[in-house]
Chains A and B, each alone.
Chain A
Amino acid sequence: AQSVTQLDSQVPVFEEAPVELRCNYSSSVSVYLFWYVQYPNQGLQLLLKYLSGSTLVKGINGFEAEFNKSQTSFHLRKPSVHISDTAEYFCAVWKDGAGGTSYGKLTFGQGTILTVHP
Chain B
Amino acid sequence: KAGVTQTPRYLIKTRGQQVTLSCSPISGHRSVSWYQQTPGQGLQFLFEYFSETQRNKGNFPGRFSGRQFSNSRSEMNVSTLELGDSALYLCASSLGLAGEGGEQFFGPGTRLTVL
A-chain residues with CB within 8 Å of residue B108 when the two chains form the complex: 41-43
User: How many whole Å from B114's CB to the nearest CB in chain A?
Assistant: 19
User: How many whole Å from A24's CB to the nearest CB in chain B?
Assistant: 15
In the complex the two chains form, is A94's CB within 8 Å of B42's CB?
A: no
A-chain residues with CB within 8 Å of residue B56 when the two chains form the complex: 97, 102-105
B-chain residues with CB within 8 Å of residue A104 when the two chains form the complex: 56, 98-99
B-chain residues with CB within 8 Å of residue A41 when the two chains form the complex: 108
Which residues of B come within 8 Å of A, CB atoms? 4, 33, 35, 42-45, 48, 50, 55-56, 58, 90, 92, 97-99, 101, 103-109
- What would 13 A/B residue contacts be, using CB atoms closer than 8 Å? A43-B92, A43-B107, A43-B108, A49-B101, A49-B103, A94-B98, A94-B101, A101-B55, A102-B56, A103-B48, A103-B50, A103-B56, A108-B35
Which residues of A come within 8 Å of B, CB atoms? 32, 36, 41-46, 49, 51, 90, 92, 94, 96-97, 101-111
